[in-house]
Amino acid sequence: MVSMTKHLALALAVFTAPVAAQLNTIQTVYLLPMGSGLDQYIANRLTAAGVLQVVTDPLKADAVFTDRLGEAFEARFTELYITPEEERKKAEEKKAKAEEKKAREKEKKEKGKQKDEEKTSGEQDDSAKPAEMPPIRASSFSRGKGTLFLVERKSRDVVWSIYEQPKSSTPKELDRVAGRVVDRLKTSRAGK
């Protein structure tokens, strides 16, 4: 029994050490709005415990705290952290798409005229194809109803997460949950 306990402790130390090291590179955090205003309670607890410095400028943050992942999060993250080069690229892509759309509309008008001419001459057009839809990215991530994520800014990796669902949305309960979240983060940063 003692040998098994030692092996378990050693395994936990091996697996938690990299997480603690990665968490300890994070010093500042930006909190995205969360359900029931939980972000405000977490900000308060993080600041009071001195675990991480909470910043109001996302550009000064090493990581972002959020209660959702997926397309909505990615869009918000990109909005917060787009670089001038990415912005230029995005503008060029938008311009190219607009020109492409304009060319397609012109082509469609010309085909419409041809179809009208063919219909009047009695011919049928069998080449009609259904419009192709862009692929939809499936994601199981969304508002997790109690799951919180710490996402590193540079890598966009989730470096820490916790499930701590409030029993109610009362200030006392939200503060209790925020306290537990910050305590667990503090423990994880210590490598325990």
Residues 6+ apart with CB under 8 A from 3: none
User: Quick check: 88 pLDDT over 80?
Assistant: no
What strand order describes the sheet that includes 147-152? 53-54, 28-31, 63-66, 147-152, 158-163
Q: What pLDDT does residue 48 have?
A: 95
pLDDT: which is higher, 185 or 83: 185
What pTM, to 2 d.p., does this model score? Answer: 0.61
Least confident of 4-13, 67-76, 79-88, 181-190: 4-13
User: Quick check: 14 pLDDT over 50?
Assistant: no
Mean pLDDT of 18-25: 72
Q: What pLDDT does residue 152 have?
A: 94
Q: How far apart (Å, rounded) are the C-alpha atoms in residues 70 and 124?
A: 45
Mean pLDDT of 69-98: 82
Question: At 27, is the pLDDT very low, low, confident or very high (cuts 50, 70, 90)?
Answer: very high
Q: How does DSSP assign 112-172, residue by residue? A: HHHHHHHHHHT-------PPPPPPPPP-S-S--SSEEEEEETTT--EEEEEE---SS--HH
Using one digit for the tens of pLDDT, what is the confidence trace for 127-174?
Answer: 545 556 555 444 444 445 789 999 999 888 999 999 999 999 999 999
Structure tokens at 135: 């692929």
